[in-house]
Structure 1
Amino acid sequence: MATNPSDGDMTDEHETTESTEASSEDNGSIQKNRKIDTDSVVLSEEEEEEEKKDEDEDRCESDQVWGFDSFDDTDFDTEQSDDDVEFEWNRYLYHVYKSRGFKVDSEIVPKGSFNGCRPLDFDKKFMLNISGREYMDNMAKLALAKYNQHNQTNVMFDHVVRAVVKRCSGIKSYITFMAKESPQGDLIEYQAKTEWKAWQRNAHAILCRPALQMKPIPARYLPNPLPTDS
C-alpha cells in the first residue's frame, strides 16, 4: 500500500519524583529522581488491537462509511445542447453517473484543467514509491478483505481490470477487478471504492460488491455514437 503521511502523534513524557531513603554510616538520607517514560509501557495484544481500532475509526469520516455509495438515489439527465463545451460536460457527467464512477474513458473527459474522475493509466507514474497498478491492487485487496469479513465469504482477488481516480485533497479510487468466489470458480467482475485523504494515515475501503450493470447512456454521448436513421 502507498505510504501515507504520518499524523504526527506525540507521546508526552511525564516526570515524577520518587523519594527513597537510604541510610549509611557516613551520611544521612538522600533523594533520588527517577524519570518514567510512558513510551516504555508495553501494551497487551488486546490493548494494541483496541488502540488501532479506535485510531482507524477516528480517521474514518462520514463519507467513508462502509457500504456508502454517493450515487445511490442520484442520476443525471439533461436536454440536448448544440454548444460544444456543454456537450462535453454532459457526456462526461452521463458516463460518471450511469457507471457510478467506475467507467470513465479518457476520450470523454473534458479538455483542460480538470479535477474530476479520470481513468488511470497503469503505465504512467502514479506515486513516488509505488506504481498505479500496485496501488490499485492493494486498494482492491483492502476492500475485498472487508467485504469478506462483513459477508463471511472467501472471495479471492485475481487482477484489476481498470481504475478511475478522483484527486481532490487525496485519492478516491473506483476499481473494477476480477475475482473468484471459489478456488475452481469462474472469474467474476467486482467493484471496489476506496479513499485516502491527505490528512489521513490510512486509506479506507468504502464499498466492494459484484459489478453493477451500467445504466443506459443516450447514443449521442457514447464514445462511438451509434448510426442514426437519416
Structure 2
Amino acid sequence: MTPTPINELTAKLASTTYPMAAEEVVSSPKVEEVDDRFSDSSSDLELCCDEEWLAYKRLPEKEPEWDVDSFDGREFRDYPNVRRLFPTQQLYDDYLDERLKAFASKGFLPDPLSDIFEIYLDGPKKGYNTCRDFIAELTNVCVKKFNETKVKTLELVNVLRATHSGIAKWKVYVTFMAREYHEGPLVEYQAKVIYCFGNDDQPPFPILCRPSPKPDSQN
C-alpha cells in the first residue's frame, strides 16, 4: 500500500468540511483537487482516527469566557499511524513543521486538519465593501471590550489576516495592527470572537484581545 503525500491527505480531509451558504462564504481553503488516481488511498486515511489527525485531545466545549483561550492546556501529540502515511521522512517533517506552527499559533494560522481555515479578506460580504470590513467590525467588538476591562485606548488600524472554525457559528481568529495610544507606534495584536450567522438577536461575543506573542514565547 502506497502512503499518501501531505497535500493529497490535506485535500481529502479538508474536503469533508461542509460549505457555508453561498451568500455567507468568506473563506476559501486552498487545497489541491484530488483526481481519480488517488481514489484508492481512502483506506490509508482510515488507518488514522480523527483524534490522531487532529493531533491533540478535544477538550469539552465550555461557555466562552472573556480573556480565556480555549487552546490553553492542549498538548500536541505525534502519532505513529500518521507518520506511516508519508513515503519519505522529508515529507513527514514538512507536514509536522506546518502542523506545529499552526498549533503554536492557537488558531491564528490555518490548520485544515483541525477545521481552521483562512478567511479571504478581499472577497465579497453582503452589507460590506469587502470581507475585511466585516472582520474589522468583529475585531472592534474585542477592542472595545479590551479597552473597557483593561482601561486602555487601543485602536484598530488594519486587519492583517483571519481564520475561522465552525459552520453556522464561527469562531474567528484575527491578527491585526493597532495603536495602543493616539499616534503611537503600530503593534501587532490578536482578537478572537464568536459570530452566529443568520441570528441578528445574538451579537458577536468577544473572547480575547491581546498583543501577538513573540514566536519564542508561544506554547
TM range (shorter): 0.5 to 0.7
- Structure 1 residue 194: Cα displacement: 0.2
Structure 1 residues 195 and 92, CA gap change in structure 2 (3 angstroms): farther
- Structure 1 residue 77: Cα displacement: 2.9
Counterpart among 101, 112, 122 of residue 107 in structure 2 = 101
Structure 1 residues 150 and 159, CA gap change in structure 2 (3 angstroms): same
The percentage of counterpart residues that share the same residue type is 24
Question: What is the match of residue 157 of structure 1?
Answer: 156
- 4+ long deviations beyond 6 Å: none
Question: What is the match of residue 195 of structure 2?
Answer: 196
Question: What is the match of residue 226 of structure 1?
Answer: none
Aligned amino acid, residue 129 of structure 1: G
Does residue 63 (structure 1) correspond to residue 59 (structure 2)? The answer is no
Structure 1 residues 72 and 171, CA gap change in structure 2 (3 angstroms): same
- Structure 1 residue 153: Cα displacement: 0.8
Structure 1 residues 210 and 216, CA gap change in structure 2 (3 angstroms): closer
The correspondence of residues 26-175 of structure 1 with structure 2, limited to 5 A, is: 62-79=62-79, 81-84=83-86, 93-104=99-110, 109=112, 116-125=115-124, 127-130=125-128, 131-175=130-174
Q: Aligned with 2:117: secondary structure?
A: strand
Aligned length: 150
Question: What is the match of residue 208 of structure 2?
Answer: 207
Q: Aligned with 1:122: secondary structure?
A: coil
Q: Aligned with 1:136: secondary structure?
A: helix
Structure 1 residues 95 and 63, CA gap change in structure 2 (3 angstroms): farther
More helix by share: 2
Q: Contact 1:98/1:215 (CA < 8 Å) preserved in 2? A: no
Computed over aligned residues only, the root mean square deviation of the Cα atoms, in angstroms, reads 3.1
- Structure 1 residue 132: Cα displacement: 1.4
Q: TM-score, normalised by structure 1?
A: 0.56
Q: Contact 1:155/1:179 (CA < 8 Å) preserved in 2? A: yes
Q: TM-score, normalised by structure 2?
A: 0.58
- Structure 1 residue 165: Cα displacement: 1.4
The correspondence of residues 170-189 of structure 1 with structure 2, limited to 5 A, is: 170-189=169-188
User: Separation in 1 of the partners of 2:68 and 2:163?
Assistant: 17
Tell me the alpha carbon deviations over residues 161-207 of structure 1, each in whole angstroms, 9 at most, x when there is no partner: 11011133311110000111122321000000000235562111100
When Rg is computed on C-alpha atoms for both structures, the one with the higher figure is 1
User: Separation in 1 of the partners of 2:85 and 2:97?
Assistant: 12
User: Separation in 2 of the partners of 1:162 and 1:89?
Assistant: 22
- Structure 1 residue 89: Cα displacement: 7.5
